[in-house]
Chain A
C-alpha cells in the first residue's frame, strides 16, 4: 500500500473544495465561530440587560428560558433547530444557519448571566449617581453601567467564544462540512491512519483556540484601555 498524497488532503482539510465548491474545513470552522460569536454576544448583552431591568413574572419567564438553553445539550438544540426551523419558517434553511442559530442561543444564554452579574456587581451606587444626574435608565445603562461592566465581563466572553470554537465541531452531526466532518470523511476513506489524523485535528483546534484567545484578549484590552472611559463600538 503506497502512502497517500498528503498535500491535496491537507488542502481539502483546510478549505474544503473551496474554489470549485462550497467553503469547508478549517476556514468554515472559523467562519462558523465568528458568526456565532457575534450573535451570541448580541443575544447575551440583550438577555443580560433584560434580566437586570425586568422584575416579577417577566423576570421568572426570562430565567426559565435562559435556564432551558443552559440545561439541554448543544447537540439536542442542534437537532431541534435543524428539524424545526424548516417546518416553522416554511423555507429551506441550510444546515449551516441552523447550527449558527443553536450555538448563538446556547452562548447567549450563558453570556446573559455573565452580563447580568457584571452589571449587578457594580452596585446600586452607580445607578443612583446616574439617576441623580437626571438621565434616563437607557442612558445610564449605555454611558455609565455598561462601559464599566464590560471590563469585568471580558474574561467570560473570551471563555465562551473559545468554547464556541470547540462546539462548532458538533455541526458534524448534521453534515455541515466543517473541519471535524471533513477529517472524519478523510479518515473513513483512508482507513489506515486514524490516530495520526485525529491527533493532527486536535492540534489544529489547539492552535485555533490559543490564537483566538490571544487575539481577542489583545483586541479587547486595546479597545478599552486606549478608549479610556468611552466604549468604542
Chain B
C-alpha cells in the first residue's frame, strides 16, 4: 500500500504544482479584467436605477390610494418569488417576440452617443436585457429595505412633525427620510452586494461579464484553478469594497451625529 500510495501522492502533488505554476497568459488575464469591468458597469447601472425605483416602490406601498398599494404589493410578490434566471430568460427571449420589429432592429444595431470628448456606444441587447431584468428584480428587495427603514422610524416622530405644523411632504422630506435612510443603509449595502453577485446570472443570456469570461478562459486554457480563482478573488474584492465603504460611512456618521441625535433601541 505504502509504495503505491506514496507514488500516487507524488503524482497528485506534481499535478498540483504544474497546474499552479503556470499562471494565465496576459491575453487571458485581460479577458477576465474585461469581464470584471463589464460586471462593475452592469452592477453600477443596476444599483442606480434600482435604488431610485425601489424608493418609488416603497412610497407606493405606503401610498393613500389602495389600488396603488395593492399593485405595488403584487409586483413585489411576483418578482421576489420567481427565480432571477427565469426572469432574465423571459426578458431576453420574450422581449424579442413582444417588442415591435422596428424596436428590436434599433436595439440590435450599434448606436453611439457623443458627450463632448466621451463617446458612449449603445450597449448590446444582452446588456440591455440583463440590466432590465436585474433592475426589475433588485427593485423589489431594495424597495422592501426602504420600507423597513421608514417603518423603523417611530410613530412619535410623525406626531411631533404634525405638532410643528409640517405638511405631509415636509414631514417625509425633513423628518422621516433622513432617519429612514440611516436605518436602511446597512441592509441596502447588503442588497448592493447581492446585485454584484446576481449579475453573474447574466452569463446565461450571453453577456460577457466576469463569470462568463472566467468560464471562457477555463474552456480555452483548461486552467481551472487560475481562471476561477482570479474571478472569485475579483468578486470578493468588489464585495469587500462595499463592506469597507459601509464601515467608513458608519464611522463618519457616528462621529458627526455625536451619538445623541438618532438614538434608537438596538441601533449602532
Q: Could you list which residues of chain A lie within 8 angstroms of chain B, going by C-beta atoms?
A: 68, 71-76, 79-80, 83-84, 87, 162, 165-167, 169-170, 172-173, 180, 183-184, 187, 192-195, 198-199, 201-203, 205-206, 209-210
B interface residues, how many (CB within 8 angstroms):
36
How far does the alpha carbon of A84 sit from the alpha carbon of B197 in the complex, in Å?
A: 21
B85 touches A170 (CB 8 A): yes
Indicate if the CB atoms of B224 and A84 lie closer than 8 Å: yes
Question: CA separation between A1 and B232, bound complex, in Å?
Answer: 47
Residues of B206-225 whose CB lies within 8 A of A: 211, 214-215, 218, 224
Check: B10 CB closer than 8 A to any chain A CB.
no
Nearest-neighbor residue (CB-CB) of A169 within chain B: B83
Q: Taking each of B93, B198, B240, which has the highest tally of chain A beta carbons within 10 Å of its own beta carbon?
A: B93
Complex Cα gap A9–B132 (Å): 29
Counting chain B CB atoms within 10 Å of each CB, which of A75, A166, A209 scores highest? Answer: A75
Contact A79 B228 (CB under 8 A): yes
Decide yes or no: A72 and B81 within 8 Å by CB, A194-B93, A202-B86 being known contacts.
no
Docked CA distance A166–B211 (Å): 19
Closest to B238 in A: A71
Q: Given A71-B240, A74-B197, check contact A202 B85 (CB 8 Å).
A: no
B231: chain A residues at CB < 8 Å are 76
What 10 pairs across the A-B complex have the smallest Cβ distances? A194-B93, A195-B94, A198-B90, A202-B82, A169-B83, A73-B200, A73-B197, A166-B83, A209-B81, A71-B239
Question: How many CB-defined contacts (below 8 Å) exist between A and B?
Answer: 107
Residue of B nearest to A192 (CB): B97
A73, B236: Cβ atoms closer than 8 Å = no
Name the prevailing secondary structure of the B interface residues: helix
B97 touches A206 (CB 8 A): no
Contact between chains at B86 and A73 (CB < 8 Å): no
Give 1 or 0 for each of B108-138: 1 = CB within 8 Å of chain A CB: 0000000000000000000000000000000
19 contacts between A and B (CB under 8 A): A71-B235, A72-B197, A73-B201, A75-B200, A75-B201, A76-B211, A79-B228, A84-B224, A87-B224, A187-B89, A187-B93, A194-B90, A194-B94, A195-B94, A195-B97, A195-B98, A205-B83, A205-B86, A209-B82
